Chain A
């Protein structure tokens, strides 16, 4: 007994010292040791450890790198410190920083961190510092369930929601009054089933299944308007609220358009391979059914053209800007939510522009011109023109800014993809079904 007590004392001392060096020796491999949430400004506001505690001073290396990089996007996702490896992601003005001590596939951690961020977004509506601070306890409970000993345990949102209910205003009021809790009273059974993504015993009075086909055009157009590179990325976002265990089959009119696909784990890959239909037992609620890529060999219709002239004068510190946007291949739809972003050279002092439609703003710190055009009227093309003034004494900028375009076309999938039918098996009732198409500009850039 004496011996064991001594041993205890020793080990208490040993562990409370918690020097990273000693930890490195005693702790063998694990995936993720600790997670720190760091705000945009560098404030560490949450920490969670799945193993021995790692002092938050380890974040100093990261903060240093962040300081050096300037732009948060430029912080290297993987950093090496003398005793740890720091793998981080940047989401919603927050850094999710995980600490690991040994070899681990970096994408494994990165993908997991994004999954954590997705879950927060799912639970709290957004993934921001304020919301996470407001819901610290729920966040903690979630993290506890998502990782066990640094290895992902439950990452399906359906499973998590069964264990930890997302907070709602009503529930938080009720909880304060009754002392109830956010933790599900029932134990999670989702993990036990062979369809772990779907919770059991789902019931709805209105059974409905909606699918949004969202396509994004990624393109680079050069000065003269010719396409340097263009491709279409698509996703099918589903919102399925169906009772019981429905087995759905979604088929397309023209599945061969799809060049490269990736699926939610619920989709049966074999059926897709053989018949090009999506067959699946859906998760409950919102989820991304598939994402796809339309073969870049196919010509991509570019919905708008941009006539632009941005020039800086050789003498005198000023320049001119003249941009007109017009419809090109819109397939008969209206271009909506048109938005133009132009990051100006750093030497630009101010701009003096007039827009025939919509409003423009110029951010003095980031030097970005943002022109919110709205709907594109083919009869009266929107135009933005005016002068740019440059800091006196600064040389004429060598570079021309590129123009980034955002837009939306409702009721259209630009690739021509069409859902032909949705069949349901396994349940008796008749669900409401709906498919919506939207085309957006992805990374749509015009070089000048």
Chain B
């Protein structure tokens, strides 16, 4: 019989401390045994020779501890057994010891020698366990012993013992903070440890002992990043959180340029402006002036170490551990460039299916994120829909998120959803829903009336709480535009007869008082009724009655003089002193007497002053200055021990601090040196040309990467590779590096890519020839070439009249990764393009060739038109020189593709087999040494509705050759990527194509009149006007049209006015007309009839506006206003 039975019986009465425990032991003296005696009995058992008796006694003692009973008087008896041979007895003795050693310090010292012996044991597990218990005994006198033990264990052979040493560090620190310096030495030593077992624990110790010593991390940073995936999950959380802070001190803000350039870019942005932005506001002026120059001079280059961190944490989003996922999410939120933050949304939404406590925390964080990065969660809107079975606190948080996500496009769906929530049985939730409706109404002007009407309907709800909450919200809404809604005020005045909830009554009275001019007839009557019931009202209602009386007296003293006097008299004798005071105050102020104060003539001003409308904003606003995922963020208050997330540094600290001595495996040290000179490279080789974020994860991961020590044995693949195969792989590595360099540039200056890619194809050819002869020099010369080309292009830029604006634009485009437009590099090409546009301008209206009825260019028509060279030029000016005007994207890199590289561009030509498809032109280059055969695609994976027309199989692509093919994709108006496999006769590659929004469009040709007509139907909601101040260079029609058309596949409507130009296009289900007034305004008309493209259109609007917006200048959104 074990002690377990005792608990069952014990459950009932707790006063008879553990009495039944002895029921089975006749020797214990039965029911008469006293506390003292009983412990005597246990002592006896502990003193016996039998392990079973000892065990039984220990079990009972531990059970007592578990229930919080005091067992401290047994200490001497228990401590004797610390050297017991029986392992379970021993463990239970340890449990006891750790619990009571603090209270019985001198006796606890008896046990120390046992542990000291254990520290020398040949078995690592015994060593570790001895250290663990020794360090857990909180006895100050043994601090030196502990210190010694920790130091010794830190250089133990066994990683497990070293891990235990790391665990012991914070214990010792908490016991004696004086030891800090010595402990830091140990931490420094352990941080250099290369095993995953130790990493998590030592970082934990670091965080608790010396989180401010960020310098200790430098040398270990890269190692930690690379080990991260193999560290146990709890360690991962600690490391990620620490690295977030580290990165904030060491790297530059990846969004810096954007926040500079976009400052005040939109009303919304400033409204939700973050702390950072505000800080920048102070220095805004000087910065802005410098912004353009700075952006040009110092383009933001992401530190490769920063990139390393982002890349190595990303797979952890797939962890089963919610804490790890959250840690990665906050890391991305705080550190990643805006365009990349999106990846965390899916993982966070996944956590919403976990336990309700996890949901609670995740939703709090999502709520904060939605305020700053709304777009991120918009696709997951429905995941936040509320079920009646959710706990109330979850419901309210989901509601918060839904409210934050609401915008013009989705508000109707959200309001419909809210409508069902109002019928919920959970009244707290209903009240919160009404509040949410109020917030949507204030934030989104378009639906204010709808919301107001809905709320007014709720006033007739049977549930009083609902009505009351509605009244309060309506009050706030009306305050924004009272003149329009006197009927609602009247309606509410009638409610005073029925509503009993004091807050609601008070709100109504305030409203009537405030807007008594709008309801001149009703107001005095309401006051009459209120005067009647005054004595029975709640205090807040009484105060509002006084308010109402005062206001009426001031505006309509003839009718209400007596009533007011009456009310004031009642209030004079009220029990509540607030009310008495208020009454006295009001009387003095409004009722003119001989000795009335000087203030009475200002009474009207005092009472009827214009009150600012209340701002309904999210309680999660501004919470993001706390590190997300932290306790402080959750409580919105700084918790003890919280480490502030530092601001980004102004300029990057020296990155070389993270360099580690040249690793042994590098054979050729001279090359290594050269490398370091060129660019600060991490020592691990990274053959993977990190592809841009537009590419899907599939194609990224496909490439054989050595840097990520993903699955143990595979380990640092490229390292061993380079050892084995000498020269060849080394040069490959070089190429990889080259590639990475390129990648970096691509990310920063997307625009440069075009010229680069063009050049790289030439390069590819040349290189191929040389490859046979001399590999090493090849890569060198290649880089030279690249530099040359760059300088060339920069020269041409400076020649170009628009160069400056161009560059700034590039920065901007690169930052937020909109579907970027091709940028003309060489003046020659620029001219060519210009002439094309000229042609476009002078072209007579092509209306006869268009089917104006449905605004869609019929398929056959296009094919017909293709014969006419002139009209072809009109149709798609880009087709003539697609390579120069169109931006090409990388589909498959030559390293990944084992010699096969593929690039694609959106040719903007109609895809003849299917008009709904977008034509994608692909260019295959075989730079390997053997032929590639049977190039075709397979296993197309698409989102529903999307379709793909395969390109015809390329039977053979000889080495060094290039081939092109065209495929068609119907993206179904979404920007979802099309994933498929590219197959050769030997291999398959996962690739994906993601369209920039601008490419989903198809231009349609309209005459001016047609355009005007179409435009006339799309007023109001469908109209977005932005006022832009364009800089001088940009102020001609050409430039504007050119910029817009490069950003999106639009075509120009010929029109007479030279001040205005219009562009039109029709994607499949939606029409978008852009009209541009050359000097100052851009208006985009869109049809919101299709919901699918709503988001895309919004993005497009941004793209177009951004293509026109220039650096350092403000764009103000004036939505809903028609152009003059």
Contact = CB atoms under 8 A, between A and B. Distances in A.
Interface of A: 4, 7-8, 11-12, 15-16, 24, 26-31, 44-49, 51-53, 56, 71, 73-74, 76-78, 80, 85, 88-91, 100-108, 110-112, 114, 130, 133-137, 139-141, 144, 148-149, 151-153, 155, 172, 175-176, 178-179, 181-183, 185, 187-189, 191-192, 194, 196, 218, 220, 222, 228-229, 231, 233, 256, 259-265, 268-271, 273-274, 279, 288, 291, 293, 295-299, 343, 345-346, 395-402, 404, 443, 445, 447
B708 A270 contact: yes
Contact of B233 (A80, A265, A291): A265
B478 interface: no
- Output the residue of A29, A189, A345 with the most chain B CB within 10 A: A29
Interface string B871-909: 000000000000000000000000000000000000000
Interface string B16-57: 000000000000000000000000000000000011100100
Contacts of A263: 318-320
Nearest to B58: A137
Contact of A44 (B68, B88, B124): B68
A56 B700 CA distance: 53
Interface stretch (B169-177, B650-658, B725-733, B854-862): B169-177
B977 to A, nearest CB: 12
Interface string B60-78: 0011011110000000000
B410 interface: no
A89 B4 contact: no
Interface in B57-113: 59, 62-63, 65-68, 86-89, 91-92, 94-95, 99, 102-106
B400 interface: no
- Output the residue of B141, B230, B976 with the most chain A CB within 10 A: B141
A135 B350 CA distance: 35
B241 A105 contact: yes
B2 interface: yes
B319 A262 contact: yes
Contacts of B94: 144
Interface stretch (B419-427, B761-769, B800-808): B419-427
B8 A130 contact: yes
A386 B707 CA distance: 68
Contact of B350 (A15, A78, A270, A293): A293
A404 to B, nearest CB: 6
25 contacts: A16-B103, A29-B170, A29-B641, A56-B68, A89-B357, A103-B631, A103-B642, A110-B323, A110-B358, A114-B355, A185-B87, A220-B385, A260-B346, A262-B320, A262-B325, A268-B710, A269-B318, A270-B701, A274-B701, A398-B463, A398-B466, A399-B425, A402-B387, A445-B387, A445-B389
Contacts of A140: 62, 65-66, 95
A137 B3 contact: yes
B298 interface: no
Contacts of B393: 74, 76
Contacts of A45: 11, 67
B361 A110 contact: yes
- Output the residue of B88, B362, B697, B700 with the most chain A CB within 10 A: B88
A288 B393 CA distance: 29
A194 B629 CA distance: 29
A103 B323 contact: no
Interface residues of B, number: 136
A28 B350 contact: no
Nearest to B417: A228
Contacts of A192: 124-125, 158-160, 197
Contact of A445 (B4, B171, B388, B641): B388
A91 B106 CA distance: 41
A404 B389 contact: yes
A398 B424 CA distance: 9
B353 to A, nearest CB: 6
B630 interface: yes
B355 A110 contact: yes
Contact of A78 (B103, B634, B701): B634
Interface in B931-969: 939, 941, 943-944
B541 interface: no
B594 to A, nearest CB: 56
B712 interface: yes
Contacts, number: 316
Interface stretch (B201-209, B274-282, B303-311, B996-1004): B201-209
A188 B326 contact: no
B943 A229 contact: no
B535 interface: no
Nearest to A131: B4
B51 A179 contact: yes
A432 to B, nearest CB: 27
B170 A105 contact: no
Contacts of A44: 68
Interface of B: 1-5, 7-8, 11, 50-52, 55, 59, 62-63, 65-68, 86-89, 91-92, 94-95, 99, 102-106, 123-126, 132, 135-136, 138, 140-141, 158-160, 164, 167-168, 170-171, 173-174, 177, 196-197, 201, 204, 207-208, 229-230, 232-234, 237, 241, 315, 318-323, 325-327, 346-347, 349-350, 353, 355-358, 360-362, 382-383, 385, 387-389, 391-393, 417, 420, 423-425, 461-463, 466, 629-632, 634-635, 637, 639-643, 697-698, 700-702, 708, 710-712, 714, 939, 941, 943-944, 976, 979, 990
A103 B639 contact: yes
Contacts of B136: 148-149
Contacts of A135: 4
B86 A220 contact: no
A136 B66 CA distance: 7
A24 B174 CA distance: 11
Contact of B710 (A90, A91, A229, A270): A270
Contacts of B92: 137, 141
Nearest to A177: B52
A260 B348 CA distance: 11
Given A4-B141, A47-B68, A261-B318, A137 B62 contact: yes
Contacts of A191: 160, 197
Contact of B67 (A11, A31, A47, A218): A47
Given A185-B87, A268-B711, A52 B631 contact: no
A51 B167 CA distance: 13
A28 B4 contact: no
A269 B315 contact: yes
A311 B689 CA distance: 64
A45 to B, nearest CB: 7
A151 B204 contact: yes
Given A11-B105, A51-B174, A151 B1 contact: no
Contact of B392 (A31, A74, A274, A299): A74
Nearest to B208: A29
A130 B350 CA distance: 33
Given A27-B174, A74-B392, A111 B712 contact: no
Given A220-B387, A269-B318, A270-B714, A107 B208 contact: no
Nearest to B233: A265
Given A8-B106, A274-B701, A144 B95 contact: yes
B74 to A, nearest CB: 16
A288 B321 CA distance: 12
Contacts of B201: 151
Contacts of B357: 77, 88-90, 110, 114
Contacts of A228: 382, 385, 417
Contacts of A153: 167
Given A8-B105, A144-B95, A187-B125, A346 B425 contact: yes
Contacts of A396: 462
A182 B88 contact: yes
B309 to A, nearest CB: 17
Contacts of A293: 350
A179 B52 contact: yes
Contacts of B708: 270
